[in-house]
A and B are shown apart, each in its own frame.
Chain A
Amino acid sequence: MILDRTNAPLIKDAVDFDIQIKPYQLYTLDNGVKVYAFEGGAQEVMLLDLVFSAGNSYETKNWVAPATNYLLKNGTSNKSAFEVNDAFEFYGAFLNRSCYNETATISLHCLTKHFTKVIPVVSEILVDAVFPENEIAIYQQNQIQQLTLNLKKGDFIANRFIDEYLFGIDHPYGKYSSETAYNQLTRDDLTSFYNKYYKEGECTVFMAGKFPSNIESILNQYIGSLPLNKNVIEKPVHPIIAATQKKYSVVNDPSSVQGAIRIARHFPNRHHPDFAGAQVLNNIFGGFFGSRLMSNIREDKGYTYGIHSYLQNHIQQSAWLVSTDAGKDVCRATIDEVYKEMAILRTDLVDKDELNLVKNYMLGSLLGDLDGPFQIIGRWKSYILNGLTEEYFYNTIETVRAIQPKQVQELANKYLQEDDFYELVVY
């Protein structure tokens, strides 16, 4: 029999997959800290993620939150920065810190067999970080140099400015670093932020992988005994002050051969009923390799190496962005094509076949994204921090499965209106 290569093999539609999110286990430590845990995986490794209400929403002076987070592991009363780092690295463990808008995290990745060797050092950092003056000075010097370098890059500038236009320079989502901000940091700023938001702060733990058998008692000993969650942390309210001017063109480097393009509008947060449907529309528009923006602007015209649209991952309020770097001579043409694609989505019903492809792609990737213990706890973490439950997970899947071309078009008419978008090109 001759093999027929022109017809695709039969597939099971991803919309017909039974997609489940496996449940977490929840413990509460002696000090009230909640631990969300997912045990599993083939490798003897684990992840411990400590999430503090210590994002830049809580700082009263620019860059104190990220600097405190970064310098947490640069020394305690008993250990120099080198000794703290060595204590983790000797056991092949990685301690990463990240500062976001609402939260700031300390993440430990390690081999399960070494967890008991490194968790005491995590504990030590949480009660006794001392922020030595010379460590702060080195941080300031090197961050300023890094910033000077980044400011040469159009895409870096574009990311800063578009957030500023959307949210305002004083809003946690809109502000950014500067040489002045780095220079004005003092040891007092960092220690008082640390005392309030880490040492006696609000903490939630997420954990995944293979655990040692007595994990609960280990956590109680090293995390459950700390003075965490004692005070109620007041959630600051930051008004959004968006720019009135909508279109910008900035020359950063006259010799640049490309322009960094950002096109953005406000969008509600994940609790809004349109959020899940908008994700379907976003995928059709510019959310994956097969999207209309990619097909038109990269695969048909070759204006760019890549173009993407996405919804920002913010808790208070999101934004819908289109982002690309395009050849200098084709920036205007690229922007025109983006608006053209918006217009087509508003006027023409999306083809059933295309919509079905996007649904399958979204649900297939969701299945892949839930593969592995770190991925599963990562998704739970995102839901819990956004105040969502598993209902959101199943509702989203249901929305993706059920949405029809008509609803996609309605969403396009509601949200993909050229006049609502900020537009920026940095050359």
Chain B
Amino acid sequence: MKEFGYQRALDVSGALALLDADPDARFLGGGTNLVDLMKTGVERPGRLVDVRELPLDRIEPTEDGGLRIGATVTNSDLAAHPDVRRRYPALTQAVLAGASGQLRNMATVGGNLLQRTRCGYFADVTKPCNKRDPGSGCPAIEGEHHNHAILGASDHCVATHPSDLGVALTAFGAVVTYETADGPGELPLTDFYLPVGDTPHLETALPPGALITGVVLPPAPVAANSRYRKVRERASYAFAIGSIAAALDVRDGVVHEVRLAFGAVASRPWRAHAAEAALTGGPADAEAFAAAADAELAAARPLPHNGYKVTLMRNLVVAVLSELAEEAAR
């Protein structure tokens, strides 16, 4: 880890001024990913601007009945918040499925969205990686990739986004708010992450020097009947190999509204628009759920060793939607 400067910001404008859009500087939130990447040499900033104490640590209702979640709210406080647990239970479940109690106490909402892939090639500076070192190649494609992407990847990068929280936020149509020296801006989470293409090192659409100030959850009554299911290679404290955030509103046996997002299958949390469209207005049964999953997964381009993820995601869609349909019927 190289030497670096450290400054602590106390308000948003101060943070932006301290960062000064300096490409050698980084915002430091909980540090659970950035400090690790600095130790492994993946990140080598010359300066850190600590934003953990910014007054962005509140969860408040919006006027239209949604929720505004501050960027420095810790994962733990987000998961424990009564409004989140009541109105967006899958969001609480997603957060609690991630990392560990210790890390959730440290990690912030803003930092969670900006965390980097856990691809083992990316994290190891002795190996090539187009995301870390553009043009050096992607060894995963011909190497170890049993937990890599099946959707939206490219010949340049097949890494997945590791967030659980982001999957639930994506299902519920969250919007990221940010501030720059030129004023505020916002990005729906579905537009927040850039397509991989031939620039896997460019990950988000945030303008240079921007500070995430929070996430706005629009009102979503459907989210009250929601669930997050995560499959991983040990029972806890592991990244997903496939996960799903789902919400379902069934009226008279017909799907009135459905939300579906997938985790650990793409470079970003994957909103399953095709599956949602296939289901809406149709029957809420296992056959329809499977057909909807197939509609979404038709775009999958598995590698030799991760084709199981297509089956896994299909099975998860059917299982979780079936559970939600049953619970709604009770």
Does B associate with A?
no
